[in-house]
Amino acid sequence: MRHTLSVLVENQPGVLTRVAGLFARRGYNIESLAVGQTHDPSVSCMTIVAGGDDLVIEQVVNQLDKLIDVIEIRDITQVKYVDRELMLLKVKAEASMRGEIMQIVDIFRARIVDIGQETLTIECTGDAGKAQAIEKSLKPFGILELARTGKIAMVRGPKYGDV
Amino acid sequence: MKLTGAEIIIKAFEHEGVDIVFGYPGGQILPFYDKLFDSSIRHILVRHEQGAAHAAEGYARATGKPGVCIATSGPGATNLVTGIANAYMDSIPIIALTGQVPTTKIGSDAFQEADITGITLPIVKHSYLVRDVNTLAGIVRSAFHIATTGRPGPVLIDLPNDVSTATAEFEYPPPVALRGYQARREIDPNLIYQAAKAIGEAKKPVIYSGGGVISSGASEELRELAERAQIPVTTTLLGKGAFPETHPLSLGMLGMHGTKYANYAISYSDLIIAIGARFDDRITGRLDTFAPHAKVIHIDVDPAEIGKNVRVHHPLNGDVRAVLKELLLRLEAPEDQEWLKQVMAWKAENPLTYAWVDGVIKPQYVIEQIWDLTRGNGIVTTEVGQNQMWAAQYYKTLAPRTFISSGGLGTMGFGLPAAIGAQAGCPDKLVFDIAGDGSIQMNSQELATAVAYNLPVKVAILNNGYLGMVRQWQELMWNRRYSQTDLNVGTPDFVKLAEAYGALGLRATRPEEVRPALEQAIATPKPVVIDFVVAREENVFPFVPPGQPLTKMVGG
Ligand SMILES: Cc1ncc(C[n+]2csc(CCOP(=O)(O)OP(=O)(O)O)c2C)c(N)n1
Ligand SMILES: [Mg+2]
């Protein structure tokens, strides 16, 4: 099963290497990892999506928790959370196709952020399902480039742990 | 008062009670060595940095205090790597201090630059690359705290040259609060209650104890548990000494070269009380056939170990000693004595044995004689291979911190420097390194260190002219094809080697020479090497071939 881990870490050089290295060394696979500073500049938040059975994930969590630079780790897979991912797509778009593409962009509430001679660059924010859906819809036009941030997540309701 | 980074390290070491360090100088660590010149901290100059790391570990294991090793940048630092990995695998608190190129040069492939924090990432409990002298005192404080608490382990401090010469106001900070580090956890009384109940209800309990009992200082509690509940105790290699092996309830070591009775007891038990041990593959044999009828109580300070290899029914995560104390308050002793009778019968029927051959020194006999002469009062370190397993089997360890062996990593070359570290930390103890002819050649240069500081360690080489343990595997599993395991050609004359270093060299080639040689070694107040020319193709038995169930023991 796919698990979503929300990890608070010290915002310091080398921390990402420690976390990623631990995954590699213990043979756990990272599907995506997004990291950025939080409202406390000394703390970064990592959202890690990892695949593996429950026992494996439990080991991952336990091992990560032991890293001194990991302040807090939670497996939020079973909790209600909001998640978002940002995706940029460059699509082949000759003049005759642009209308159709723009319609799709509208439906997904995505945005066009750059127009080239024969291309459109589209920004789309959403959960994993939406990212997949827009990719699928745009595929017939020819996707030239695609970049995604990996998902970030936040538990719904009051501050997690305060309830 | 303003101090340089180098001075801050020394002050901080003093605050941490460091009296001895093991190291080797070089360019980038020179500012530190210059200040060390005026310090009261005793520095032992090893002959290879690997020796410094192992010596620091030997010191730590013998004394219970953290060991410190020091090296310069680049090759000095990389020479520490095996020793750091060894300490990591065996959860031993050491601090490794390495010099580094100046911060302005880091990343430029400067002369003798090695990314030692990167290289050691998977083998340290934590590491620091110091970038600002103002953080240095706090870092040293945290390093010692992290190394010695929770599940102990090595911590590396990489000190760039310019940081060691920069100055800062020195004040040793109060204990640092590390928000990402929790050394101790509260124990749930309900879990203790459940575990105590399980012990009371068990029909066939067995205690399986490891190095965690020794590092948490819980031998007394372990003994009380065993005696009050009349439960037999088997230990791992690292657990040797946690429970006196002369005790009627002792089953000695279990696992690949464990006693038959320990392996039977664990295999047929209905309750395993695992204490500070981690169900390593050398212990469990084939995992899916391991102790099929047993429920498991697992006491360990490291939550990640609980449930890692085997299913645990009663997880007790916390400091081993603290948990045992709680458990003892609620202990219900099983009433049934049938099981104990059965285990004792196994023990009586399956003693460790070897065949005596007239005129030939059997390696087991040498260990028996070492035990007989020391009565378990000394400290034994070992190298790796057959010598190590015979030492584990035949040297009955009585007290914690007196048997020091490379367990998790199995590092040949560990024994001599570890003995030097143990001897430096315990000057009044008799320290033996039980060695193999292969292993001793991996760090024999440390004989110079032993002589230079008159650390009178006794190196007992069980010289079989082979990389014996590998040869044993080749004999039993690879059709006697002795590929690259014969050492006879090229091995030095160990007596002359000892003499070349200024140590005493002795040799025994017949059984009747064993005891006199040992007596002479013990009576000699300086380092001694004894070359015991032993039966060449003796095997370590019992033996559970890798991947087999524990009950499938071969030989013995
Ligand atoms: C550094 C290192 N290299 C290789 C090995 C693999 N190994 C394990 S035991 C052994 C043989 C050890 O020979 P010796 O020291 O003579 O001991 P014996 O088994 O003969 O008692 C070897 C090569 C190891 N454990 N450590
Ligand atoms: Mg040998």
C-alpha of residue B401 to centroid of ligand 2, in Å: 26
Spatial separation of the C-alpha atoms in residues B144 and B268, rounded to whole Å: 42
Give span(s): CATH 3.40.50.1220, chain B.
Answer: 189-349
Q: What is the pTM of this model?
A: 0.95
Residue B71 near residue B26, CB atoms below 8 Å: yes
| CB spacing of B180 vs A58 below 8 angstroms | no
pLDDT at B543: 95
Looking at the domain covering B363-533, what would its CATH class be? alpha beta
Smallest CA separation from ligand 1 atom 11, residue: B467
Q: Which residues of B touch A (CB under 8 A)?
A: 117-118, 121-122, 125-126, 129, 146, 178-181, 302-304, 307-308
Structure tokens at B201: 């209800």
C-beta atoms surrounding A141 within 10 Å:
18
Spatial separation of the C-alpha atoms in residues B318 and B321, rounded to whole Å: 8
Strands (DSSP E) along A20-159, which ranges?
A: 29-37, 43-51, 70-75, 81-92, 111-115, 119-126, 143-148, 152-155
Residue A31 near chain B (CB below 8 Å)? no
Ligand 1 pocket mutation, candidates B237, B411, B437, B469, criterion most atoms within 8 A of CB: B469
> pLDDT tens string for chain B (556 positions)?
899 999 999 999 999 999 999 999 999 999 999 999 999 999 999 999 999 999 999 999 999 999 999 999 999 999 999 999 999 999 999 999 999 999 999 999 999 999 999 999 999 999 999 999 999 999 999 999 999 999 999 999 999 999 999 999 999 998 888 999 987 788 899 999 999 999 999 999 999 999 999 999 999 999 999 999 999 999 999 999 999 999 999 999 999 999 999 999 999 999 999 999 999 999 999 999 999 999 999 999 999 999 999 999 999 999 999 999 999 999 988 777 899 999 999 999 999 999 999 999 999 999 999 999 999 899 999 999 999 999 999 999 999 999 999 999 999 999 999 999 999 999 999 999 999 999 999 999 999 999 999 999 999 999 999 999 999 999 999 999 999 999 999 999 999 999 999 999 999 999 999 999 999 999 999 999 999 999 999 999 999 999 999 999 998 7
C-alpha of residue B387 to centroid of ligand 1, in Å: 9
Interface mutation vs chain A, best among B91, B125, B179, B300, most A CBs within 10 Å: B179
Which amino acid, one-letter code, is at A163?
V
Count of A–B CB contacts within 8 Å?
A: 36
Domains of chain A by start residue, with CATH? 2-79 (3.30.70.260), 82-152 (3.30.70.1150)
Banded model confidence at residue A122, pLDDT cuts 50, 70, 90? very high
> Candidates 3.40.50.1220, 3.40.50.11540, 3.40.50.300, 2.10.109.10; correct CATH number of B189-349?
3.40.50.1220
Tens of pLDDT along A123-150?
999 998 899 999 999 999 999 999 999 9
Q: Which of A22, A25, A69 sits opposite B180 (nearest CB)?
A: A69
Taking CA A146 as the corner, what is the angle to CA A144 and CA A152, rounded to the nearest 5 degrees? 170
Give the residue from B501, B500, B516, B466 showing the smallest Cα distance to B486. Answer: B466
Give span(s): CATH 3.40.50.970, chain B.
Answer: 2-169, 363-533
CA distance B139 to chain A (A): 13
Residues within 5 A (CB) of ion ligand 2: B 436-438, 464, 466, 468
Q: Among all ligands shown, which has an atom nearest to the Cα of B366?
A: 1
Give the residue from A141, A125, A137 showing the smallest Cα distance to A34. Answer: A125
Spatial separation of the C-alpha atoms in residues B369 and B95, rounded to whole Å: 36
Which amino acid, one-letter code, is at B129?
L
Residues in B closer than 8 angstroms to A10, CB to CB, are 180
Over residues A16-32, the mean pLDDT reads 88
C-alpha of residue B346 to centroid of ligand 2, in Å: 31
Give the residue from B85, B7, B5 showing the smallest Cα distance to B41. Answer: B7
pLDDT at A163: 43
User: Using CB atoms within 10 A of its CB, is residue B152 exposed (0-12), middle (13-18) or buried (19+)?
Assistant: buried
Cis peptide before B492 (omega within 30 of 0): no
Ligand 1 pocket mutation, candidates B384, B388, B470, B474, criterion most atoms within 8 A of CB: B384
ipTM score of complex = 0.88
| CB spacing of A58 vs B307 below 8 angstroms | yes
Ligand 1 near B433 CB (within 6 A): no
The DSSP line for B351-420 is -------TT-B-HHHHHHHHHHHHTT-SEEEE-SSHHHHHHHHHS---STTSEE---SS--TT-HHHHHH
Note the helical H segments in B245-302: 260-268, 281-284
Residues in A closer than 8 angstroms to B181, CB to CB, are 68
Residue A9 near chain B (CB below 8 Å)? yes
**In this structure, which topology does domain B2-169 adopt according to CATH?**
Rossmann fold (3.40.50)
| CB spacing of B181 vs A68 below 8 angstroms | yes
Spatial separation of the C-alpha atoms in residues A38 and A9, rounded to whole Å: 10
C-beta atoms surrounding B496 within 10 Å:
12
